[in-house]
Structure 1
Amino acid sequence: MYNSQLWKTFWNFIVHHYDGEKEDLVKINVPKSKSLEAACLALDVGYRHVDTAYAYQVEEEIGQAIQSKIKAGVVKREDLFITTKLWCGCFRPELVKPALEKSLKNLQLDYVDLYLIHYPVPMKPGDNESPLDENGKFLLDTVDFCDTWERLEECKDAGLVKSIGVSNFNHRQLERILNKPGLKYKPVCNQVECHLYLNQSKLLDYCESKDIVLVAYGALGTQRYKEWVDQNSPVLLNDPVLCDVAKKNKRSPALIALRYLIQRGIVPLAQSFKGNEMRENLQVFGFQLSPEDMKTLDGLNKNFRYLPAEFLVDHPEYPFVEEY
């Protein structure tokens, strides 16, 4: 039941919080007042799906926004779809439930609608979300994510989360969970980088064959975070082919990029602090792209990844060595 409803519920859309000038390698630092303001604005505009993560360090502000809007009568809890994620340093089975409970406390919620394993790569646990050795390399761990998955299943049974899924998993890693002895709940979704330059067609086909929803972050080509993204990489929304399709349809390049994903059955996540952009993104349901336009946009795929998560590359579970 939950998976069959998930796509529709997801498409109450997304709020992602960032500040393009202030990031480190594994978390995005946002002025607290700015993230709170953005979350409140998004809920006022009409967004009902909030995607966050412990690593983003804005769960408390999102919780404040949610509670303020519930008290003001703007939304009801049952109208919202709240997603958060288990960070890599909490893969050890005994750490999973406490990590979720901490996120719930931050969010001021009794449950979240979706809880994801953030990456398939475990890090050493500790107080620091970015544990480094003396050479500045990340301290990685050897936990089997299938063991972590069992504890997510227990969290679902305990009513702390409605659905569970993964993020940044390749098809072989998904297959390992699906084939795990004693599997109780399969992942309802896989959240991955996906956009016109990385259209994930093979991973989409695989996920659809397993009734797993593909969720796209970086749907507009990312916000080009300085520490994460090569500043010489192409700017997706400036692509001349995309701009031509946008002009033809009398829409912005951003709307075309989002609509392209929707028509392929992908849930795109959009990012903004600006009310006018939030409102514009919601117009994505007001038109359709022709088969010819879809084929033209298919041709933009370069298998290009803006966010390769190179800080995890030394681990055998690094997901992006696979084609999909």
Structure 2
Amino acid sequence: MSSGVPLTVPMPGKPYPTVGLGTFTLLGKTGASEEVANAVKVAIAEGYRHVDCAFVYGNEKAVGDAIKAKIEDGTITRNDIYITTKIWNTYHNPEHVEEALRKSLRGLQTDCVDLYLMHWPFAYKDGDNLFPQDAEGNFLFADHDYVDTWKAMEKLVGTGLTKAIGLSNFNKKQIERVLEVATVKPSNIQIEIHPYFLNEELVSFCQLNGMTVTAYAPLANPSRVLYVESEPNIFEEPILKDISAAKGKSIAQVVLRFLLQRGVVVIPKSINQARIKENKQLFDFDLTESEMQQVAGLNRNFRLFREEMAIRHKHYAF
């Protein structure tokens, strides 16, 4: 057995599992909610107790169906599973925040979530059109300040609709603004982190301020739609191939273990049963300090997700 990496970390409400199933683009890839639900069922059967989703992913109903099925068959209780979801940009109006969460709860078929994140710091035009645009294709923004949205999210903790609240895709200055006014401090931040983009300064800042840090795209999303051959691919890296062979582990397992040893929670996504199982098997080996340094040496500040559709918004993060 390895040492030094916990299975869970402390969070308000209940412990936060350090490995979860991510669900971003799962529905978008297949168009079949049944495949998303099956992936969640498989993950739970394989021991996952943490599922990450978001309203904008369009798969909360599928995730909820799967969790409900595994509760009904006795595999888990609701308290066994950690559910994270996120408020979308079109619901940043403080008057709409609670209803946004209630919509997610209806999809997830639960009375509360364990963690509710603000997906991005910028607001789109209010309404149910998740990607509002004008006739020329320009995105329509709203002028809601994410600080006001945060204050509305704080009230959700008091109502019991969520046990913890946090941020996603915020930069350091934006986090500082939230921290200055928060009566309920952000418990977590979810940001892009992988060997090509370690995001070290932001990770350290958040951890020093008492936030758990969750890495999305921890494997640098090699199946991304916009992938071009000139971009790096972790599965082609000689260093990772060598460490993988030495450890008798897959490259994905090596990368995920690397992030865990850096104190970061990981939420790899897959609909493939074998890979779902493999991505959870991270606690029976260690990377040496030398191996950790070799993987860290792949960093090139290569950010995959820039949300450039919002680049003109005054609260654009990057």
Q: Report if TM-score (shorter chain) is over 0.5.
A: yes
1:39-58, aligned counterparts within 5 Å?
39-58=40-59
Q: Is the 8 A contact 1:29 1:57 kept in 2?
A: no
Structure 1's 231 and 168: CA in aligned 2 closer, same or farther, altered over 3 A? farther
Equivalents in 2 of 1:313, 1:230: separation in Å?
Answer: 22
Larger RCO: 1 or 2 (CA < 8 Å, sep 6+) = 2
Shift of 1:280: 0.9
Equivalents in 1 of 2:274, 2:312: separation in Å?
Answer: 41
Equivalents in 1 of 2:300, 2:271: separation in Å?
Answer: 29
1:14 corresponds to which of 13, 16, 21: 21
Structure 1's 8 and 251: CA in aligned 2 closer, same or farther, altered over 3 A? farther
Structure 1's 231 and 135: CA in aligned 2 closer, same or farther, altered over 3 A? farther
> Over residues 181-237 of structure 1, what are the superposed CA-to-partner deviations in whole Å (9 max), with x where a residue is unaligned?
xx21111111011000001111111112101111100001114332x5556422122
Q: Choose 297-306 or 38-47, whichever is displaced more.
A: 38-47
Shift of 1:17: 4.8
1:169-318, aligned counterparts within 5 Å?
169-180=170-181, 183-226=182-225, 228-230=226-228, 232-318=230-316
Q: Is the 8 A contact 1:116 1:167 kept in 2?
A: yes
User: What is the DSSP-based 3-state SS (H/G/I as helix, E as strand, rest coil) of the residue aligned with 1:283?
Assistant: coil
User: What is the DSSP-based 3-state SS (H/G/I as helix, E as strand, rest coil) of the residue aligned with 1:162?
Assistant: coil
Q: Choose 37-46 or 150-159, whichever is displaced more.
A: 37-46
TM-score (norm 1): 0.91
1:119-198, aligned counterparts within 5 Å?
119-180=120-181, 183-198=182-197
User: What is the DSSP-based 3-state SS (H/G/I as helix, E as strand, rest coil) of the residue aligned with 2:56?
Assistant: helix
TM-score (norm 2): 0.93
Count of matched residue positions in the alignment of Structure 1 and Structure 2? 310
Shift of 1:241: 1.7
Q: Is the 8 A contact 1:221 1:237 kept in 2?
A: no
User: What is the DSSP-based 3-state SS (H/G/I as helix, E as strand, rest coil) of the residue aligned with 2:48?
Assistant: coil
Q: Is the 8 A contact 2:22 2:267 kept in 1?
A: yes
Identity over aligned residues, as a percent?
A: 36
Structure 1's 8 and 263: CA in aligned 2 closer, same or farther, altered over 3 A? farther
Q: Give the corresponding residue for 1:99.
A: 100
User: What is the DSSP-based 3-state SS (H/G/I as helix, E as strand, rest coil) of the residue aligned with 2:163?
Assistant: strand
Shift of 1:312: 1.4
Equivalents in 2 of 1:60, 1:223: separation in Å?
Answer: 26
1:38-77, aligned counterparts within 5 Å?
38-77=39-78
Structure 1's 4 and 219: CA in aligned 2 closer, same or farther, altered over 3 A? same
Counterpart amino acid of residue 20 in structure 2: F
Q: Is the 8 A contact 1:17 1:30 kept in 2?
A: no
Shift of 1:267: 0.5
Equivalents in 2 of 1:73, 1:296: separation in Å?
Answer: 43
5+ long unaligned stretches in structure 1: none
